[in-house]
Amino acid sequence: MIKQKYSELEPVLALLKDNHYSRRIKSHFQAYDTEYDFARFYEISSDGTDPYGVACVFNASMIISTTVGHELDDDLVNELAHFIILNSPAMVEVEVCYSEKLKSLLAECYSCDVRTQFEFSTRNTLPDLDVDETPRLDDVFKVLASSFPSIAESYELWMTDTSHRIRRGLSQSFLVGDYSTATIQYIVDKVALIGHVATIPERRGEFHARRLLYWIGERLTLDGFTVRLFARPHRVSYYEEIGFKELETDIVFESLDW
């Protein structure tokens, strides 16, 4: 059974497993609660009482995580596949054990994209780098727009969501000069996820993003956070040179209709 939750969601979120999917769901709840149609939360259960997991539909993405001590049986996985197809999100993130099961069930609607999760390993040395930790978001956007077409076409959406999360302490952007940037997509349960790393085309190849990522890793680690990011598997050596260590790979489902 998959049922939308309009209240009393926080106790259910506290039961979720300690993983990226749970933290992303929590970040959406902490940012928007259940008051907006673009951030919807659903409880997954077997008998309608004991929560087995949570699915969050946020804009065009869906994130799914399960609760400690519960596993989704084949019937629930099949129901989840129908739920995904019904909602038709552009992207779906779900625990590896279920993504493997969902592959065949979603094959007609979704492709599978493998990605690698990395965790920063500190050297306890903060490099001397002139980083703006509270940049104007318009300046950040200019850099991101040069690398991410989807962001370039969605200025108001990106600006509203990013500024909203920053005000709530869930996110932070960093800028070096006017040419390189990275953003913490969420800070939840002492874990910071880095995303939206970009350098303007004319300054690429000068190692600005590499230096910024290392600086962020050291800075946040010194502040007591675990620092992670996702990237394609072929970039493993690049991130290892910076100081990130490979943790695991997972699968992201991407809609064939987007």
Structure confidence by residue, pLDDT tens digits, 79-100: 999 999 999 999 999 999 999 8
The yes-or-no verdict on residue 49 having pLDDT over 90 is no
Find the mean pLDDT for residues 135-151. 96
Taken in order 223, 224, 229, 235, is the CA torsion positive or negative?
positive
Domains of the chain: 2-108 (3.40.630), 118-250 (3.40.630.30)
pLDDT in tens, 29-46: 999 999 999 999 999 998
pLDDT of residue 36: 95
pLDDT of residue 66: 98
Find the mean pLDDT for residues 227-248. 92
Average pLDDT, the chain: 95
pLDDT in tens, 6-30: 999 999 999 999 999 999 999 999 9
pLDDT of residue 233: 84
| C-alpha dihedral, 216 to 217 to 222 to 224, nearest 10° | 110
pTM of the model as a whole: 0.95
Contacts of 76 (CB under 8 A, 6+ apart): 44, 46, 52
One DSSP character per residue, the chain reads -EEE--S--HHHHTTB-SSHHHHHHHHHHHHHTT--TTEEEEEEESSSSSEEEEEEEETTEEEEEEBTT----HHHHHHHHHHHHHH--SEEE--HHHHHHHHHHHTTTEEEEEEEEEEE---S-------BSS--HHHHHHHHHTT-HHHHT-HHHHHHHHHHHHHTTS-EEEEETTTEEEEEEEEETTEEEEEEEEE-GGGTTSSHHHHHHHHHHHHHHHTT-EEEEEE-GGGHHHHHHHTEEEEEEEEEEEETT-
The yes-or-no verdict on residue 47 having pLDDT over 80 is no
pLDDT of residue 242: 95
pLDDT of residue 235: 85
Contacts of 112 (CB under 8 A, 6+ apart): 99, 103, 251, 252, 253, 254
pLDDT of residue 234: 84
pLDDT of residue 258: 80
pLDDT tier, 232 (very low <50, low <70, confident <90, very high otherwise): confident
